[in-house]
Amino acid sequence: MQLRLGCRLSFDLPAPTPMILLLNVHYSRASDLVRPDLLVTEPAVPVEAYRDGFGNWCNRLVAPAGGMVVSTDGIIRDAGTPDPVDRLAGQTPVEQMPVELLNFLLPSRYCESDVLSDFAWERFGSGPQGWDRVQAICDFVHDHVSFGYEHSRPTRTAVETLNEAVGVCRDFAHLAVALCRCLNIPARYCTGYVSDIGQPPPYAPMDFAAWMEVHLGGKWWVFDPRNNDIRRGRVLIARGRDAADVPLTHSFGKHELKDFKVWIDRSDDGAAAFDEPVRPI
């Protein structure tokens, strides 16, 4: 199937302001793009594209004073398959991990795994390991934290999410990432699109989503503590240690977000067959 995806963000800026935008589909899905989701600005300004240290596509520009709109709109091929599951995927001992995984075991700006270590081991340390341990963490976060946009706060950390028990999808992801790291499971924060394909209506207004990837059995796997189910039409934009590494927009000066719209919908006419059972691989 094909999915049309994109976003439109409107800003008001009191002065010319440098910005970095992470709004494009991740390079790992580049070959699936039927129509690239190129960044467009209104008014037109020079845009410098580059890859950051995590391999994410970034756009650098100077937004003019006054109003500016940035948008993307692309079409991507997607198999429509659900997030893979392998309940037999196990943990790798820290001393046997490739060195590139170790960074995803350490505390980070929003994921204070050092502070949460005692809580994590007390709650999950005597239970199952591997896949079932990560799922137990997702079950806990999903049940413990109440979702609501009225609870959004860009500076909330994993510890604060645990204590306040409210948040948005990034808070769910930060808490789950931190708890996994406490238990020596490499975990990284992801942001992107998650479609409503295969989900029962009514549908909430579309937004960018946050989830996590954990390393089990020699592979990275998707876990989504906010939704805590298996989704189709998940398209990655960026991944890093936490949201500090992959903000959708970062400005080096004052700005106000005036309007915000996100979409991901089927763009073909083929009938969807999404009622087959989901089986572990």
- Amino acid identity of residue 123, one-letter, is R
Question: Which pLDDT score is estimated for 277?
Answer: 32
Handedness of CA 192, 259, 166, 248 (dihedral sign): positive
pLDDT per residue over 2-27, tens digit each? Answer: 999 999 999 999 999 999 999 999 99
Question: Which pLDDT score is estimated for 202?
Answer: 83
Q: Are 111 and 177 members of one domain?
A: yes
Give the CATH number, domain containing residue 160.
Answer: 3.10.620.30
For residue 240, tell me if it sits in a domain.
no
Q: Which residues contact 196 (CB under 8 A, 6 or more apart)?
A: 203, 206, 233
Q: Are 99 and 199 members of one domain?
A: yes
Q: Mean pLDDT for each 10-residue chunk of the chain (281 residues)? A: 97 97 96 97 97 96 97 96 95 97 98 98 95 98 96 96 98 98 98 92 90 98 94 96 97 95 82 35 28
pLDDT per residue over 218-265, tens digit each? Answer: 999 999 999 998 889 999 999 999 999 999 999 999 999 999 999 999
Question: Which pLDDT score is estimated for 278?
Answer: 33
Question: Which pLDDT score is estimated for 245?
Answer: 97
Q: Are 167 and 120 members of one domain?
A: yes
Q: Are 149 and 176 members of one domain?
A: yes
Total domains present in the chain: 2
Q: Are 72 and 116 members of one domain?
A: no
Q: Residue 152 is part of which domain span? A: 94-232
Question: Which pLDDT score is estimated for 203?
Answer: 85
Q: What angle do CA 214, 177, 234 make, to 5 degrees?
A: 60
Distance (Å, whole) CA 80 – CA 269? 14
Give the CATH number, domain containing residue 68.
Answer: 2.60.40.2250
Question: Which pLDDT score is estimated for 136?
Answer: 98
